[in-house]
Structure 1
Amino acid sequence: MRLTPKSFEVRVPRLVGLMAVDAREAAEASGVQLAAGDRADFELAVVDYVVRQYPPPGVEVPRGAVVTVWFELGDEGGGVREPRRGGPPPGLRRELEEPGDPFAVLR
């Protein structure tokens, strides 16, 4: 685990593509907290992949700020089934766009 200096602001790490357990470790090492609105059992999640995060990576936030992450289930079930699907690992299959302006519709 990498220790960061006790400064007031920290940079948000890139969490997209990481498994839940790795995302929690990266967030802790960077000095931010994680929240997952789509997962009530977030603390127990292990093999789910982060597909979206807000705020985006590299943004400076106050130490202890909350970074919200969204997941895609990493395990598609047990056993071998044919035909096998090709392509990137499940967590890298898609990366969603960042949330837009919530007031754009009202303008």
Structure 2
Amino acid sequence: MSGVQDQLEIKFRLTDGSDIGPKSFPAATSVATLKESILAQWPKEKVSGPMTVKDVKLISAGKILENNRTVGECRSPLCDIPGGVTTMHVVVQPPALEKGIGIVQDIAQTI
């Protein structure tokens, strides 16, 4: 019985309302590994997908999940129903945004 509870069914909701999954993950799976799975399964027809794990933010139960945490540590007792599917929201932070901030900082330093 504990083997079943150590597995979580997770689907990833993209910003356009489409989903990746659901897929079963062990509770010991790291958030970084979930993000790698998202990168591997990202729909090819979607424009401006994430390039690296750093481009992806996962949100579950209103909290941004940290890469070094495990799925089991991030479980919410209020939202997770045994045998149910957990939905995590995926936000892509484009790398161009970070470059734009660097340019603004460079300009500010020269003024």
Q: Name the TM-score, length of structure 1 as normaliser.
A: 0.26
Structure with bigger helix share is 2
